[in-house]
Amino acid sequence: MSGLSQHPLVSRAEEVADEVLRRTKTILPTLARLCLISTFLEDGIRMYFQWNEQREYMDISWGCGKFLATMFVIINLFGQLGGCFMVLLRWKVDIACALLFGIVCMQTVAYSILWDLQFLFRNLALIGALLLVLAESRQEGKSLFAGVPTLGDNKPKSYLQLTGRILLVFMFATLLRMEFSFMQPLHYTEQFLQILQNVVGSVLMLLVTVGYKTKLSALILVVWLTTLNFYLNCWWTIPGYKAMRDFLKYDFFQTLSVIGGLMMVVSLGPGGVSMDEHKKKW
């Protein structure tokens, strides 16, 4: 990949990315956290306004009775809203992430997401984004003795960043489209663009996963995924009485959370377990 790193276009793109980071370094972490918790915030608010509908859905789906169905809604309501405010205020972030992680796991089982790969992959990506928030909250390891420097990297933080990057890939797996038809010549252009989108997206995903040109790759993915999200999941254009509005709204905020995770990658960098870090030792 050394040839890629020396390419003038890549070098110029890295300069642009560095300039963007310099100009946004004070607001990028906050914006990343806000985007990341957006899906939990929206779902918590939805639990409040759709209290009866959610209770009835759980009672009918699981036959668990009104009490357990009500408890499910209460846990989702206060757990998600509480976790969101804790993350935004940077107060007990580890507890907040554990709380939101528990909500994701509970919803995965309650809504039978385990049997739907697309929803399961998106929840895994959401967990990856939470791990990146947890990594951001961890301070570099302190020496046991004042004035004595620590040796080595903060390994837990590095592994959190690595796992978070890997899990974010699952979101992009749900965006890859494999619908090809050779019976409709008029659609050749659309098919070519679709293939191009899949290839470019897959390459960028791979670069983020292994931690090569990480900040640049993640920044491109932020722009690309944001564009796709506002184009494909424009729920605000759908009338409120149509069920499609809720589906698009769900997709929009989940994707926004993963965009927040990618912003966190841009802000934090790849961490110790990455090709970018190992290149410094060569």
Whether residue 1 is predicted with pLDDT greater than 60 in this model: the reply is no
Could you report the per-residue pLDDT of 79-138, keeping only the tens digit for each?
A: 999 999 999 999 999 999 999 999 999 998 888 877 788 888 888 988 998 998 998 887
Could you report the per-residue pLDDT of 112-125, keeping only the tens digit for each?
A: 877 788 888 888 98
> What is the Cα–Cα distance from 100 to 87, expressed in whole angstroms?
10
Question: How remote is the C-alpha of 96 from its chain's centroid?
Answer: 16
For residue 91, give every residue at least 6 positions away whose Cβ sits within 8 Å of its Cβ, in sequence order, or none: none
> What is the Cα–Cα distance from 154 to 135, expressed in whole angstroms?
10
Structure-block tokens of residue 239: 């009338």
Question: How remote is the C-alpha of 40 from its chain's centroid?
Answer: 12
Question: Maximum Cα–Cα distance for the chain, whole Å?
Answer: 72
Residue 179 banded pLDDT, cuts 50, 70, 90? very low
Question: How remote is the C-alpha of 6 from its chain's centroid?
Answer: 30
From the list 181, 125, 133, 175, the residue with the least C-alpha distance to 157 is 133
